[in-house]
Structure 1
Amino acid sequence: MSIRSALLLTRAPGAAFVVMGLYWGVFAAHVPVFRDRLGVEDATFGLLLLGSSIGLIPTMWLAPLFDRALRRAALPVAAGLLALAWITPALATAPLAFAVGMIGVGVASGLCDVVMNARVSQIEAQSGRSLMNANHGLFSLAYGIAALASGVTREAGLPMLTVFGGVGVMTLLFLPLLSRAPAPAAVPEEGGAARLPLWPVVLCGIIVMIAFLSEATVESWSALHIERTLGGGAAQGALGPALLGVTMTLGRFGGQALAERLSETAVIRMAALVSAIGISVAAMAPVPMVAYLGFAVTGLGISVIGPMGLALAGRMVAAHQRAQAIARVAVIAFCAFLIAPVLMGGLSQALGLRAAFGAVALLLLMILPPVMALRRRAADPGAVPA
């Protein structure tokens, strides 16, 4: 019941989570199509994909200005820009055009991501409920459904542009609902120039970054660990990242009920310990079946850390600073997707994949000190703005 009521309460920004999940799910399922059409090697294709990060990270820094300028219109405009941005990569046949298109996708995704999370944080403050997990679970669910549906459309021979166009039509249908999201809080005349508190934002950013880094390592390296370290086949290897996606969706919806009974800091502490245990089990697994168990437990744990870290950042600042705080946390957090390939690649080459996953388990335990510092701040009535 708490999940249903949470989704009803946040149905306007929740629609943006659905739109975002649909687009990225369709893209993930069509990656082989993109690569074949561009006619590039894997390494070159990987570099082209960095275009989305190039557009995403700086845009997140500027997204609060976009939010304050457009106010209630910010969310539907951001969703509309996302629909337009996907047209270029969907049509691109040359690597340069694809890279430019992905930069545009990164820009639109950055705007939409910051605004939709800020709106959920705002509704959390108004309602006194924890709502972030349910909405991130909605993203994971939409992503998974879109990826599976795209697999079916690919088998049926449906052109990729038609599939992206279908999601574009759905986005247009969502625009009236998106426009109902609350406007951002106005900057008060007195104290309007107050600076964003640095350390709570940095600590929340570190927490979410470690969660994203752990997620990225399991998504990208779990199949290789099962196949190369444990001697599994290709189908067995594919189950590693698949289990992560399934358990993260379940974890976020389950975490919604948990977060309504416990504080954000308590949920993050438990989730960090659970995910560290899970990835340690996967690292030491003697056979693929044990690794599956470890990766599934990891997914359950890390699924709630990111949403709870963003929710905590929203609670640590004044109402008019939420979009800015979430944007800064997101900029720090998304650096994980630049760090993860270098970290895992270097460690696995030097020490092996077991040691590399063991290092990720230690990183997850490093979440505990900043969480304890934030817990003390949250417990101090004078430290957190009303």
Structure 2
Amino acid sequence: MTLLHDLRLIRRPVAAFAAIGVCWGAFAGVVPALKLQAGMSDGALGAAMLVATFGAVAAMWLAPQAEARLGRQAMPVFALLLGLGFSLPGLAGSTAQFAAAMLVCAAAAGTLDVAMNTHLAGLEARSGRPLMNLAHASYSLVYAGAALAAGIARGAGLPVWAIFLGAGAVTLLLALATRGAKAAAEPETAPAGSAAVPWLLVLPAGLVICVGFLSEQATEAWSALHLERNLGADAVGGALAPTLLGLTMGLGRLTGQGLVQRLDVGRVMAAGATLAAAGAVLAALAPTALMGWAGFAVLGLGVSVLAPMGYAWLGVRLQPAARARAISRATVVGYAGFFLGPPLMGGLSELFGLRVAFGAVALLLLVLPLVLLPVMARR
């Protein structure tokens, strides 16, 4: 089996991963401009993203039922909603408007995330191939390109609303590429309504995904601000931080695609979390932009394996009837980190500064190898 064969096998969910990468990459590249446009403090930005969390969680909880009703059209419909939603944040002129726009974006991204990961887990289980890292790598690489493009566009004077409109248009095109996927839910989610959720497996996997997403999103949303505010970078230099994060995450996930076939998943996740924590510390203590970029690059390399391997660890331990609901619930737990990251960073930054905030991310990452992963090894 070749890499090209695997890519052909997962081409439709990869288009969904790419759609999310375009949107969040564009967002990361323009966070400083969004913050200025809406007149938000660090704490207000964090609070607005916390509001978005509730929309994402509610949407993901209901995603399996919506996916079962939509069938083959689930991913295209959710991707379409994502593209339409991401035309809104660039128009926000206040904290309330920004929070409302991000609520819509988060809900759309959450439903698409559940659908694409459920579909991918089904493909992985049926094919016997490790596909999670490859699909998540596609997100990271597209995210890196979108973040850099957004930063360059911002540096060239393009208005924020135009950058988001462009990201939404690309996402709508990618929605077309997700069509025709035979949802993994077909036959898996049909009986899922009566299948009990195996929380003893779902919760630890969800917590690994949660810490991974928290670290990713904390860096995506705040790394450009750290570079521009504390290390003297310009708009393009600030956008280079999330760009490097995405590139090294993509590299790490492509490498993890091979490692997962030869090494114990738990050990790979422990090594990744430790490396990511070291990167967060380096970024927090960086005296120059170069050291900051290096720290975020190391963080991305380490954190890259956490979410996809958390999904993979869970997927192989589930029967098909339980897979869709279990992955949905794990995604709900995981996405709490994706959207709690910015509020955590915002609060800590407001009180102590961004350097302390990134230090807190390092401490959270170290909880995985020291506490959570040893518990998972016994399951």
* TM-score for both structures, normalised by structure 1: 0.80
Change in CA separation of 1:188 and 1:346 when aligned onto 2, cut-off 3 Å: closer
More off after superposition, 332-341 vs 303-312: 332-341
Instruction: Give the aligned partner of residue 5 of structure 1.
Output: 5
Q: Counterparts in 2 of 1:175-324, with a 5 A limit?
A: 175-183=175-183, 184-186=185-187, 193-216=194-217, 218=219, 233-235=231-233, 238=238, 243-279=244-280, 295-324=296-325
Q: 2:359 aligns with which of 348, 354, 357?
A: 357
| Secondary structure of 2:141's aligned partner | helix
Unaligned runs of at least 5 residues, structure 1: 378-386
Taking every aligned residue pair, what percent have the same amino acid on both sides?
Answer: 40
| Secondary structure of 1:250's aligned partner | helix
Q: Counterparts in 2 of 1:1-386, with a 5 A limit?
A: 2-93=2-93, 95-183=95-183, 184-186=185-187, 193-216=194-217, 218=219, 233-235=231-233, 238=238, 243-279=244-280, 295-336=296-337, 337-338=339-340, 341-342=343-344, 357=359, 360-361=362-363, 363-367=365-369, 369-377=371-379
Give the letter for the 2:201 counterpart. P
Distance in 1, Cα, partners of 2:69 & 2:319: 19
| Secondary structure of 2:88's aligned partner | helix
How big is each residue's C-alpha offset from its partner over 1:109-164, in whole Å with a ceiling of 9 and x where there is no partner?
11111111111111111111111111111111111211222233334444544444
Higher-Rg structure is 1
Structure 1 residue 351: deviation in Å?
12
Change in CA separation of 1:41 and 1:305 when aligned onto 2, cut-off 3 Å: closer
Change in CA separation of 1:368 and 1:329 when aligned onto 2, cut-off 3 Å: farther
Distance in 2, Cα, partners of 1:56 & 1:359: 22
More off after superposition, 51-60 vs 24-33: 24-33
Structure 1 residue 244: deviation in Å?
3.3
Alpha carbons 2:249, 2:301 under 8 Å: kept: yes
Change in CA separation of 1:106 and 1:283 when aligned onto 2, cut-off 3 Å: closer
Distance in 1, Cα, partners of 2:21 & 2:266: 27
| Secondary structure of 2:187's aligned partner | coil
Alpha carbons 1:118, 1:322 under 8 Å: kept: yes
Change in CA separation of 1:351 and 1:330 when aligned onto 2, cut-off 3 Å: same
Distance in 1, Cα, partners of 2:152 & 2:225: 26
Alpha carbons 2:276, 2:298 under 8 Å: kept: yes
Change in CA separation of 1:224 and 1:144 when aligned onto 2, cut-off 3 Å: closer
How big is each residue's C-alpha offset from its partner over 1:217-244, in whole Å with a ceiling of 9 and x where there is no partner?
555677898999xxx7423995765543
Change in CA separation of 1:262 and 1:58 when aligned onto 2, cut-off 3 Å: same
Structure 1 residue 69: deviation in Å?
1.6
Distance in 1, Cα, partners of 2:289 & 2:87: 40
Distance in 1, Cα, partners of 2:225 & 2:71: 45
Give the letter for the 2:328 counterpart. A
Change in CA separation of 1:353 and 1:35 when aligned onto 2, cut-off 3 Å: closer
How big is each residue's C-alpha offset from its partner over 1:12-38, in whole Å with a ceiling of 9 and x where there is no partner?
010011111111222222334434443
Distance in 2, Cα, partners of 1:70 & 1:314: 22
| Secondary structure of 1:87's aligned partner | coil
Distance in 1, Cα, partners of 2:171 & 2:107: 17
Distance in 1, Cα, partners of 2:66 & 2:369: 31
Structure 1 residue 40: deviation in Å?
4.4
Give the letter for the 2:10 counterpart. T
Give the letter for the 2:316 counterpart. R
Please tell me the root mean square deviation across aligned C-alpha atoms, in Å.
3.8
Change in CA separation of 1:121 and 1:87 when aligned onto 2, cut-off 3 Å: same
* TM-score for both structures, normalised by structure 2: 0.81
Change in CA separation of 1:294 and 1:60 when aligned onto 2, cut-off 3 Å: same
Distance in 2, Cα, partners of 1:134 & 1:320: 25
Distance in 2, Cα, partners of 1:175 & 1:352: 36
Structure 1 residue 272: deviation in Å?
3.0
| Secondary structure of 2:68's aligned partner | helix
How big is each residue's C-alpha offset from its partner over 1:49-99, in whole Å with a ceiling of 9 and x where there is no partner?
434223112211221111112121111010111122223334444544433
Distance in 2, Cα, partners of 1:152 & 1:196: 45
Alpha carbons 1:130, 1:260 under 8 Å: kept: yes
Distance in 2, Cα, partners of 1:140 & 1:202: 25
Change in CA separation of 1:147 and 1:286 when aligned onto 2, cut-off 3 Å: closer
Change in CA separation of 1:49 and 1:8 when aligned onto 2, cut-off 3 Å: same
Distance in 1, Cα, partners of 2:258 & 2:199: 30
More off after superposition, 244-253 vs 118-127: 244-253
Unaligned runs of at least 5 residues, structure 2: none
Structure 1 residue 366: deviation in Å?
3.3
Alpha carbons 1:55, 1:106 under 8 Å: kept: yes
